DNA sequence: ATACGACTTAAACCATGGTTTAAGTCAACA
DNA sequence: TGTTGACTTAAACCATGGTTTAAGTCGTAT
């Protein structure tokens, strides 16, 4: 069982150390162990949890909602149905957001086309 | 030439009226005309500009950067190259973000699979 | 021995992107 | 005529998601 320091965990997920401390404070990373000197040590389980938190954060889930999810994990198997429902809802929210961005992307591509044409005309 | 009131413009883009006033204050909607009573009236040109601002905002461009873009539009054709460059960069940023979200989505789908299996086992 | 780097804490601070409030103007309708 | 509803302004307020600061504790390399 290998343990990571906070700097290693931060590097692994391209987060700042203060972000990890902040997440712990917000209850997103419960049960993080400490070494004899009081320093955080991240077990493989904690790294797995951090990976999950990171997925949710990356897809714009709010801290409060991630905390709810973590709380349900801590509560045990009786909350699996609620967790499943949350993940299904979130999946849909992510798909909707991707669709919305993709649609707006078209507007941006239209600008690129117009400006490119305009530049070519200037050339000639 | 049809003009829209602020409430119509807000409804058209699913924004709040205060958001439109805020955007104008930030310089994202310059040159908005007023009627005799001092109320904002949105021309078709302004609606087109609002559509563009909305695309950029929807794809998470920051207000400051959108303002830069609008300022370049106001400056005239000499800024077309810069606008083109900005749109190209932004397009790439959007593609990157969509790719990142899509990757994280996989983690979410994995959870859904695990929880679904777990629920089925409980059933039996 | 000491100095350095990596860590700790709590609390203050910050940026971003709006929303809300209070006080006022105007047009139209009963 | 008066009151309702849609608008106006400037300024204050708010939530979110962190970052920064100050003061202190370790472990180790010189």
Per-residue model confidence as pLDDT tens digits over B28-43: 999 999 999 999 999 9
Between CA B12 and C1' C28 the distance (Å) reads 25
Whole-number pLDDT of residue B114? 98
Please say whether the dihedral angle defined by the alpha carbons of residues B37, B52, B23 and B13, taken in this order, is positive or negative: positive
Average pLDDT estimate for A33-41 = 96
Q: How far is A21 from A17, CA to CA, in rounded Å?
A: 6
- Quick one: DSSP state of residue A14? T
CA B95, distance to chain mean position in Å, is: 15
pLDDT above 90 for B10 = yes
- Percentage of residues in chain B with pLDDT exceeding 70? 99
Among residues A50, A55, A63, the alpha carbon closest in space to that of A11 is found at A50
Banded model confidence at residue A122, pLDDT cuts 50, 70, 90: confident
Whole-number pLDDT of residue A1? 64
Banded model confidence at residue A97, pLDDT cuts 50, 70, 90: very high
pLDDT above 70 for A18 = yes
Banded model confidence at residue A82, pLDDT cuts 50, 70, 90: very high
Whole-number pLDDT of residue B44? 96
What are φ and ψ of residue B19, in 5° steps? -65, -45
Token reading at A4? 């990571």
Average pLDDT estimate for B84-111 = 98
Q: How many other CB atoms are found less than 10 A from the CB of residue B44?
A: 11
Per-residue model confidence as pLDDT tens digits over B21-30: 999 999 999 9
SS (H, E, C) chain B: CCCECHHHHHHHCCCCHHHHHHHHHCCCCCCCEECCCCCEEECHHHHHHHHHHHHHHHCCCCHHHHHHHHHHHHHCHHHHHHHHHHHHHHHHHHHHHHHHHHHHHHHHHHHHHHHHHHHHHHHC
Distances (CA, A) of A103 to A27, A108, A109, A121, B95: 36, 9, 10, 28, 12
Banded model confidence at residue B1, pLDDT cuts 50, 70, 90: low
Chain D positions with an atom below 7 A of a protein C-beta are 6-9, 16-21, 25-27
Q: What's the farthest any 2 CA atoms get from each other in chain A?
A: 73
Per-residue model confidence as pLDDT tens digits over B49-62: 999 999 999 999 99
Among residues A108, A57, A103, A95, the alpha carbon closest in space to that of B65 is found at A108
Cβ neighbours of A116 in B, within 8 Å? 84
Sorted by sequence, the CB contacts under 8 Å of residue B109 that are 6+ apart come out as A91
CB of residue A18 closer than 7 A to nucleic acid strand D? yes
Distances (CA, A) of A50 to A11, B32, B102: 12, 48, 18
- Which stretches of chain A are DSSP H helices? 6-12, 17-25, 44-58, 63-75, 80-123
Does A52 touch chain B if contact means CB atoms closer than 8 Å?
yes
CB of residue B43 closer than 7 A to nucleic acid strand D? no
pLDDT above 90 for A78 = yes
As a whole number, the mean pLDDT across chain B is 97
């Amino acid at each position: 069982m290998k343990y990571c320091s906070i700097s290693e965990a931060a590097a692994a997920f391209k987060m700042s150390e203060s972000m990890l401390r902040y997440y712990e404070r917000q209850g997103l990373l419960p049960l993080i162990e400490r070494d004899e000197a009081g320093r955080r040590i991240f077990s493989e389980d904690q790294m797995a949890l951090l990976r999950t938190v990171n997925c949710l954060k990356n897809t714009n889930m709010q801290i409060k909602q991630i905390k709810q999810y973590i709380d349900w994990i801590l509560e045990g198997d009786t909350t699996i149905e609620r967790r499943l429902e949350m993940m299904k809802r979130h999946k849909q929210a992510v798909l909707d957001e991707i669709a919305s961005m993709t649609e707006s992307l078209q507007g941006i591509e239209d600008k690129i086309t117009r400006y490119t044409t305009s530049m070519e005309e200037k050339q000639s």
